[in-house]
Amino acid sequence: MTRYRVFSEVATSAVLLFACVATIAVAAGPQASNHAADASRASDARPVPAAVDDDTGAVRVPLAQLAAALAPDARVQLFTVTDQPGLYVMQAASLEQQGAMFARVVALLERRDMPRDRVVSAAAIAAHARRFGTDPTGLTAGNNFSTTELTHFFEVAREQGVVLNQGERTLQTILVRWRLIRDEQGIWKAASPHDFLITIPGLGRAPGGETIDATVRAAILSHELGHWQYFSDGAYAHACRAFWWQVLSYEERAELTRQLENLGYDPSDRIVIDEMQAYLLHTPARYMPIIDTPGPGGIDVAKVRTRLQEAVAKAGG
């Protein structure tokens, strides 16, 4: 999940949470994610007949065909990405529907100042969203979770005796029918530790008044695909972690952590390093929430990005 700025006639600088994607050309240059490059060519790719899963209606497509396969309106769509084993993509009908499915998952797994051992109430979600200037029904603009993380959420809720809301029950049903999770003698388990779900919203007006148009949706998808690369490409992830600990100065790490924490992220290394690479290498500049900070202890975003590109390229990522 990543926080980004939407510029529109309704809200010139509204901020949403999202994870970066790769359907838009970004300033990351030739060292950017291969997944991003594949997705950016999707609109030019010639469509091919797609197989459809009978149980879920999920469409089987290669990554290069994904962007072209997205509906030009608000509807639920499921995609199994055939040339990226383990990658699954869901387009929710709306930002509000997506929020109903994932707000408490996000809170449990990655939000700042939220408990890691229990599922919080809807009221706690609303209070947290107001604190960071977001609408609780649209807490995130996009999501990325391994199915192991998703089953952890369902297990915590089960052990706690929490009743799932309608959106969470719908998500659970989809994942079961998609054969990504299963109930094994009363315990929720992932079918594979290598499966990864990305979600994006359908087109339309968001709860806070922002508009999710094709360009914004493409940016969200690109960010999320950046997280997929970090999850699935061990060499790339290692290069990003080495860059964080060995190339950046203490002051640069502290400033990046401060900015991400102010956006509502948990400041743990697990979250911050993943978000750093997703923003710097996979997020279009107009949606970038990380900013230059002058003076001692500050950062120059363009220079940090270039250094990260160089580190990833050197590592062959």
Report the half-sphere exposure of 304 (CA within 13 A, side-chain side). Answer: 23
> What's this model's pTM, rounded to 2 decimal places?
0.84
Q: Would you tell me how many other CB atoms lie within 10 Å of the CB of residue 82?
A: 15
Q: Which among 301, 311, 147, 145 has a CA at the least distance from the CA of 238? A: 311
Cα 269 from Cα 139, distance rounded (Å)? 22
Q: Which amino acid is at 212?
A: I
Residue whose tokens read 């992830």: 237
Burial of 235 (0-12, 13-18, 19+ CB in 10 A): exposed
**Helical H segments across 56-134, by residue range:** 63-69, 95-109, 122-131
Q: Along the 317 residues of the chain, how does pLDDT read in single tens digits?
A: 545 444 333 322 333 333 333 322 223 333 334 454 454 444 444 555 678 988 889 999 999 999 999 999 889 999 999 999 999 999 999 999 999 999 999 999 988 888 889 999 988 888 887 877 777 766 678 999 999 999 999 999 999 999 999 999 999 999 999 999 999 999 999 999 999 999 999 999 887 778 899 999 999 999 999 999 999 999 999 999 999 999 999 999 999 999 999 988 999 999 999 999 999 999 999 999 999 999 888 999 999 999 999 999 998 86
What tokens appear for 47 in the block? 């469509």
Q: Cα 62 from chain centroid?
A: 19
- Cα→Cα distances 107→49, 97, 156, 187, Å: 39, 16, 13, 21
Region at 310 (left for phi over 0; alpha for psi -120 to 50; beta for the rest): alpha
Dist. CA 271–CA 311, nearest whole Å: 20
**Token pair for residue 135?**
């609408």
98 Cβ contact list (under 8 Å, min separation 6): 92, 138, 140, 143, 199, 200, 201
3-state helix, strand, coil in the chain (%, to 5): 50, 15, 35
Q: What DSSP designation does 212 have?
A: E
What pLDDT was estimated at residue 36?
44
Half-sphere exposure at residue 141, Cβ-oriented, CA atoms within 13 angstroms: 33
Write down the pLDDT at residue 135.
72
Q: Give residue 130's pLDDT.
A: 80
